[in-house]
Amino acid sequence: MGVNFSSMLLHQGPDALVVKNAAGRVEHWNDAAVTIFGYTAAEAMGRTLPELIVPKDGLEDAPAQGRLAGAREHLGEGDR
């Protein structure tokens, strides 16, 4: 009987592991994500990351922040 390290990493690792589908909806939410973000896996499934981890007042600024990040990337400045 061997140890399934892949399963251990997915479910018991110390870091939040979130997997989303092509539509941006959560398909996997491990135990560390529950601890860090406060939502159970059942609550997170099918929702988008902005719904779950971006503060409500931060959603209002998201389009502007996205444009700024795009401009920085275009200029080769990265995440400064």
- Could you report the per-residue pLDDT of 16-66, keeping only the tens digit for each? 999 999 999 999 999 999 999 999 999 999 999 888 987 776 656 555 555
Per-residue pLDDT, 54: 79
Query: What pLDDT, on a 0 to 100 scale, did the predictor assign at position 80?
Result: 46
Long-range contacts of 66-74 (CB under 8 A, 24+ apart): none
Count, residues in the chain: 80
Classify 3 in phi/psi space as left (phi over 0), alpha (psi -120 to 50) or beta.
Answer: beta
More confident residue, 1 or 38: 38
Whether the model clears a pTM of 0.85, i.e. scores above it, the answer is: no
Domain layout of the chain by residue ranges? 5-74
- Any idea which fold 5-74 has? Beta-Lactamase (3.30.450)
